[in-house]
Structure 1
Amino acid sequence: MQFGIAGAGFSGAVMARELAQAGHQVTVHESRGHVGGNCHTERDPDTGIMVHRYGPHIFHTGNERVWKYINDFGTMQPYNHRVFSTIGGKVYSLPVNLLTINQLFGRTLDPEQARDFISEQSDSSITDPRNFEEQALSMMGRPLYETFFLGYTRKQWGLEPTQIPASVLRRLPLRFTYEDSYFAHPYQAIPREGYTAIVERMLDDPRIEVHLSSPFDPDQHDRFDHTIWTGPLDAWFGHRFGRLGYRTLDFEEIRAEGDLQGCAVMNYGDLDVPFTRISEHKHFAPWEQHDKTVAFREFSRLAGEDDIPYYPVRLAQDKSLLQTYLDAAGQEPRVTFAGRLGTYRYLDMDVTIADALDAANIMQRAIRARDRIPALLAQE
């Protein structure tokens, strides 16, 4: 079969690889001038630092299959991600852990004392949190919530925490030890040669043809036996039912000698600071040495028509509109929707790869059985 794939991020690249290895011809169209999607990395010509061009990406997973798969395409260098936050002129450790609690409250609590103390702070009357704020108040109480999450969340989402689903906060840990690793997965790494090199190797197959700076036109998908769309779900339909909400990011570059902040990521939770965080990219490769530094202030806002969408908002009204698009997608002939944008889900890289591997397997089984390939292969 001849497959057409819109997008050369992880979803498109993994599916292209798997289908090509199964003997199919694959044509990938990528609107940008590089592969890798928002995970794209490149060497800064002045400093030699590996820059995560669309914001930092840390690979973390507990999925053995995905871990083995990505290691087939490059060296994954172990990396333990740590995040700090500047609030009210003080620096704290994140995610919230025993050090953070003792710092904020000026205590020397041990784990059990801290657990009891936060239990007293928490709002036990909230048994079924309906939104981000209620989840925070029931989980940690008002002081921790207002210090570390209220201002940052307003800036990151452009919304009041009462408008954001409780599930957003449930992904973040609350620890009663001094463990300050941001992620808890057993495998945490960054590719030694960057993510773009990984994706380039995935696409390095004689049955795969890649066209850069070449947007995929949905009106021409009949050129292929089957199309895989990893762009925004609503864009496939020309936004005919309305636009789904996405957030986008703006970056302000900082260049300096030496070390700017001494860590990879520093959050800024105060509302009077307009950016959400500063990422200093040489710290994402501590195995390298650089005399100069490159960092980026990060500003979050609602994506406009011409902006790069980073992640879905998924408010109540978006979920209603999403269902309309999902119903329409299910009726599309010879098209499969995949990836973070194509399924309108917030996916980490490992889940993106796992979904793509599963999707490719489902497609191949359908082809062998002469069944219709499903339009939607995964959805929350």
Structure 2
Amino acid sequence: MSDTPSAVRHYGFAGAGLSCAVIARELAEAGHRCTLFEARPHVAGNCHTERDADSGVMVHIYGPHIFHTDDDEVWALVNRYMRFMPYVNRVKAVTGGRVFSLPINLLTINQFFGQTLNPTQARAFIEAQADTSITDPQTFEEQALRFIGRPLYEAFFRQYTLKQWEVDPKDLPASILKRLPVRFNYDDNYFAHKHQGMPEEGYTAMVERMLDHPNITVHLGQRLETSQVGQYDHVFWSGPLDAYFGHREGRLPYRTLDFERFDAEGDVQGCAVLNYCDDSVPFTRITEHKHFAPWETHARSVCYREFSRRCGEDDIPYYPVHLTQGDDVLKRYQALAAAEAGVTFVGRLGTYRYMDMDVTIRAALDAVRAFRAARGA
């Protein structure tokens, strides 16, 4: 049957974050009705932002989200709904009572080891630190020991990772560390993508504009129940994968975050993100939110101390926990999802994948286009 406005369909959505907003807009512009259910009192999911009434600071309510991508189409899409301002993420880290620059770069190496190495010398120096007996790293720890050696691993990653995941780095996949670059120059830009920025008026305003279409209806403070799925021609589910199936195979493990907010006058730490790598500090980092909008000026500051822990039944799930062994429960849920007619599982929670915002949008675009092509066929 043709997927055209003359064959108008009614689609249901579990969630009003980036994934469902992108898909709903695409279907709405094709002439279809889209009804979104969002359990929280706002759209945009975990990238929700609010302007603080007292300080005027744009606060990332669920922790900072920084947009970066090499995908030109995704960059054009987000800029269609909001002007993105230039922003470069320059992270600092405290370890052993000293402050260093992250990602590990030539300045970090020289400061940490008390050297004045040039790029060629630094490469040779780090290679001498590395465990070259590891030829095919499978775990987080093996990846670190092979490419940066034990001193840098112990100082910047081992204890921080234990705080972040409560899992020994020997049991985490190497892919987690592969996202973190090591540079043999003085470039301290945390990301290497050609497009980097922040939405001028925040992510929530951007998603609200995305959902501002006569064919889109959003119900805040309401969940789409699995018993309602049959009321729609098709459902896009961005909630937890295991929740859709009533946790029949057990609960998939997630990490959640707790935020301890404090307000202050002036500039608290001089940067947006300051990691605390030592296990003697219970939180993983402090984020100072006014620095995420460097084009703005604020006399007061809003900061978050960030704590990571296992996700309970009533907590907000942030990060799926993938281990080097033991993903059998996930495989069973993936098989159930593949066999579920009338539902497409999308987003971080629906696909149980860690995805940055640009990858989330790309996956949503690919999903809705594949869906429409299949319906057209």
**TM-score relative to the length of structure 2:** 0.97
Contact 1:258–1:291 under 8 Å retained in 2: yes
- The amino acid of 1:194's aligned partner reads G
- The amino acid of 1:264's aligned partner reads A
Determine the structure 2 residue equivalent to 1:263.
271
1:314 to 2:322 alignment? yes
CA offsets 1:7-33 (integer angstroms, 9 cap, x no match): 000001000100111111000000000
Contact 2:252–2:330 under 8 Å retained in 1: yes
Mapped partners of 1:135, 1:317: distance in 2? 16
Determine the structure 2 residue equivalent to 1:33.
41
Contact 2:139–2:324 under 8 Å retained in 1: no
Determine the structure 1 residue equivalent to 2:159.
151
Contact 2:14–2:38 under 8 Å retained in 1: yes
Contact 1:249–1:299 under 8 Å retained in 2: yes
Q: How does 1:244-263 map to 2 (within 5 A)?
A: 244-263=252-271
Determine the structure 2 residue equivalent to 1:54.
62
Determine the structure 1 residue equivalent to 2:81.
73
Determine the structure 2 residue equivalent to 1:142.
150
SS of equivalent to 1:184: coil
Mapped partners of 1:214, 1:236: distance in 2? 15
Determine the structure 1 residue equivalent to 2:367.
359
Residue 76 of structure 1: how far off its partner (Å): 0.5
Q: How does 1:224-303 map to 2 (within 5 A)?
A: 224-303=232-311
SS of equivalent to 1:330: helix
SS of equivalent to 1:48: coil
Mapped partners of 1:156, 1:22: distance in 2? 42
Mapped partners of 1:169, 1:356: distance in 2? 25
Determine the structure 1 residue equivalent to 2:336.
328
> Number of paired residues?
369
1:188 to 2:199 alignment? no
CA offsets 1:211-236 (integer angstroms, 9 cap, x no match): 00001101111111111100010000
Determine the structure 2 residue equivalent to 1:87.
95
Determine the structure 2 residue equivalent to 1:6.
14
Determine the structure 2 residue equivalent to 1:172.
180
Mapped partners of 1:367, 1:259: distance in 2? 54
Residue 186 of structure 1: how far off its partner (Å): 0.4
SS of equivalent to 1:5: strand
Residue 78 of structure 1: how far off its partner (Å): 0.9
SS of equivalent to 1:60: strand
1:108 to 2:116 alignment? yes
Determine the structure 2 residue equivalent to 1:201.
209
Mapped partners of 1:205, 1:358: distance in 2? 21
- The amino acid of 1:355's aligned partner reads A
SS of equivalent to 1:28: strand
Mapped partners of 1:151, 1:21: distance in 2? 49
SS of equivalent to 2:94: strand
Residue 204 of structure 1: how far off its partner (Å): 0.4
Mapped partners of 2:167, 2:339: distance in 1? 34
Mapped partners of 1:343, 1:271: distance in 2? 32
Residue 315 of structure 1: how far off its partner (Å): 1.6
Percent of residue pairs bearing the same amino acid type: 62
Contact 1:245–1:318 under 8 Å retained in 2: no
CA offsets 1:63-94 (integer angstroms, 9 cap, x no match): 00101111100110010110000111110000
Mapped partners of 1:122, 1:362: distance in 2? 44
Mapped partners of 2:49, 2:164: distance in 1? 23
Determine the structure 2 residue equivalent to 1:123.
131
SS of equivalent to 1:189: strand
Contact 2:163–2:282 under 8 Å retained in 1: yes
Mapped partners of 2:316, 2:329: distance in 1? 20
Mapped partners of 1:335, 1:318: distance in 2? 26
Residue 317 of structure 1: how far off its partner (Å): 5.3
- The amino acid of 1:210's aligned partner reads V
Mapped partners of 2:246, 2:226: distance in 1? 9
Mapped partners of 1:227, 1:318: distance in 2? 30
Determine the structure 2 residue equivalent to 1:345.
353
Mapped partners of 1:331, 1:183: distance in 2? 38
Contact 2:172–2:324 under 8 Å retained in 1: no
SS of equivalent to 1:66: helix
CA offsets 1:252-280 (integer angstroms, 9 cap, x no match): 01110001000000000010100000000
- The amino acid of 1:221's aligned partner reads V
**TM-score relative to the length of structure 1:** 0.96
Determine the structure 2 residue equivalent to 1:43.
51
CA offsets 1:142-192 (integer angstroms, 9 cap, x no match): 000000001100000111110110111011101100000000000000000
Q: What stretches of structure 1 of length at least 5 have no aligned partner?
A: 370-380
Residue 319 of structure 1: how far off its partner (Å): 2.1
Determine the structure 2 residue equivalent to 1:375.
none
Q: What stretches of structure 2 of length at least 5 have no aligned partner?
A: 1-8
- The amino acid of 2:104's aligned partner reads V
SS of equivalent to 1:295: strand
Mapped partners of 1:130, 1:6: distance in 2? 35
Mapped partners of 2:172, 2:375: distance in 1? 41
